[in-house]
Structure 1
């Protein structure tokens, strides 16, 4: 039985999913989050997380990525994939577990001297937007290309829906690509790097911890991840690379992604580096029509399976 973010069992791999969760068939979120490009997008997102000094402090103080890098990253990606493709019960359970784990991540951020909390709505919004944007960005660059306009509109609408599972304020979640750009511009003045942020970003890009599997995977993906980032992030983060590398990595990454998409190879590869995520991906790939072929809002899912939202920030 797989372990949850809090060390509890996540039951989604041991039973048939009973409904279509939050989004359902035809959802662009199903398409984007279940693509092999999500691995590159996820690496991009966890690196960008460190530009928020409060999140960088939380990661450094908790030490999870250093003590158990493979498990920590696997469980986080499994959460995002669960929200995108699993049934309503699994989504609610994963959300509540994650908020309980984040409730333990509190302390003093050393640059500002202010108290941080991983469940703070602003920090949660940064995690959420960078996650959903990064996965789409990498899908566009290395996968099937840009979504159709109607699909992209729906994707950002689903991004807002998924934000309701955490402490983000839905009204603050960008609803279009232009709003995403506006969001990045608005938060940029409070983003920064630091010694601990630098360590975390470079560790996640080219990890030497977690054994050969995570180390090799992270270092192979790193040039493709960096190629998706704007110049200012590369400069501040200290991980820029020559333009010639950017140009060379794109076709190579696309070729690898095409190969992983054939005959379920992606799930087989994923099982070696992220087994919890692989089980969710496999169940999604082989899913059959559920007993309840409906989708639910987060509020409806909580009413059915857990009651009112938990707010721990």
Structure 2
């Protein structure tokens, strides 16, 4: 039975509340910028994906790639346990079949190498958490740690050992400090940068790209850590980015959730239909989780996951 299945995380989790926020779209683009700086990871994408091939049709498929990523995250967060496990199995199956070649050494490697999967995972969760907090979403330190602890479940579904995945802010910071010397601005990373700044669109959508997408891409890039901006060669002022992120967060959150949730892929609406109105994600519900994590309601502050 899946009618009342809360899924991997459930309505009481930090993940359930955070992933419903509209600035997640900006965070997702930041993750793409950051992920592209790992040479082996970005080569795996380029050598196996139509998204960045030179044909017009192939490059436009990048929009489909972004939507598939959103669908995957939505399924893991708000879908049933069975749906999440099936989505994870499908991704693992695809990754097992894909390889890439290092152009310098000629080495052929699998895109499902644990270090590559770990980089992609950490760049994603760091981006989600960083942009949400910087845009004014009420996430305390304990809740941030709980979120990273919960996200070990997502890491498991793509083929990682949860015990090897950072489950706290301190562990995540240590991981990035270890990996930073491996990062570089490769030709593939330059192409990702160019694509994200000016993605190919049908002619009818060019004005929307200029008005909307440019703002999203600039905010996502501006939210990158300083070392990533230095590699890309375009450092920006942190204070100005923070002001714009907070203003954008206020603007997007002013749109009623029932309107935002009508947009594809509609995972939240289906979750609320399955579990009832009390399952609606909302920032104020984090106050309850904060009390639990701090042990203020008589329970131990142990993150679930």
Instruction: Give the TM interval when normalised to the shorter protein.
Output: 0.7 to 0.9
2:157 to 165, 169, 176: 165
1:141 is the counterpart of 2:127: no
Deviation at residue 174 of structure 1 after TM alignment = 0.8
What are the Cα deviations for residues 248-293 of structure 1, in whole angstroms up to 9, with x where unaligned? 5233312322223x2423234xx3xxx3xx2223323544359xxx
Partner of 2:173: 181
Determine helix, strand or coil for the equivalent of 1:144. Answer: coil
CA contact (8 A) 2:37 2:185 kept: yes
User: Is the 8 Å Cα contact of residues 24 and 85 (structure 1) preserved in structure 2?
Assistant: yes
- In 1, Cα distance between the equivalents of 2:199 and 2:91? 24
Q: Which residue of 2 aligns with 1:279?
A: 266
Contact 2:35–2:41 (CA under 8 A) maintained in structure 1: yes
Name whichever of 54-63 and 23-32 sits farther off: 54-63
* Distance apart, 1:180 and its partner CA: 0.7
Q: Report the 3-state secondary structure (helix = DSSP H, G, I; strand = E; otherwise coil) of the residue aligned with 1:146.
A: coil
Residue 261 of structure 2 corresponds to which residue in structure 1?
A: 267
The DSSP-based 3-state class of the residue aligned with 1:25 is coil
Per the alignment, residue 227 of structure 2 pairs with 232
**Cα–Cα, structure 1 residues 143 and 89, in superposed 2: closer, same or farther, change >3 Å?**
farther
Q: TM (normalized to structure 1)?
A: 0.77
Tell me, yes or no, if structure 1 residue 252 matches structure 2 residue 247.
Answer: yes
* Structure 1 unmatched ranges of 5 or more: 1-14, 291-313
Aligned-residue offset at 1:17 = 5.0
Per-residue CA shift, 1:130-178, capped at 9, x if unaligned? 11121111111124232362x3332122112221112222222112101
| Alpha-carbon offset, residue 127 of structure 1 | 0.9
Does the aligned pair in 1 maintain the 2:30–2:220 contact within 8 Å?
yes
Task: Find the aligned partners of 2:197 and 2:93 in 1 and give their Cα distance.
Answer: 27
State which of 128, 134, 144 in structure 1 corresponds to 2:121. 128
Aligned match of 2:49:
63
Please list, as runs of the form range in 1=range in 2, the aligned pairs for 1:1-313 lying within 5 A after superposition.
17-66=3-52, 67=58, 68-147=61-140, 149=142, 151-209=143-201, 212=205, 215=209, 217-242=212-237, 245-260=240-255, 262-268=256-262, 271=263, 275=264, 278-289=265-276
Report the CA distance shift for 1:205/1:147 in structure 2 as closer, same or farther (over 3 A).
farther
Q: Which runs of 5+ in 2 are unaligned?
A: 53-57, 278-305
Deviations along 1:12-58, one digit per CA (max 9) or x if unpaired, are: xxx97551111112110001112112111111112211111112112
Structure of higher CA gyration radius:
2
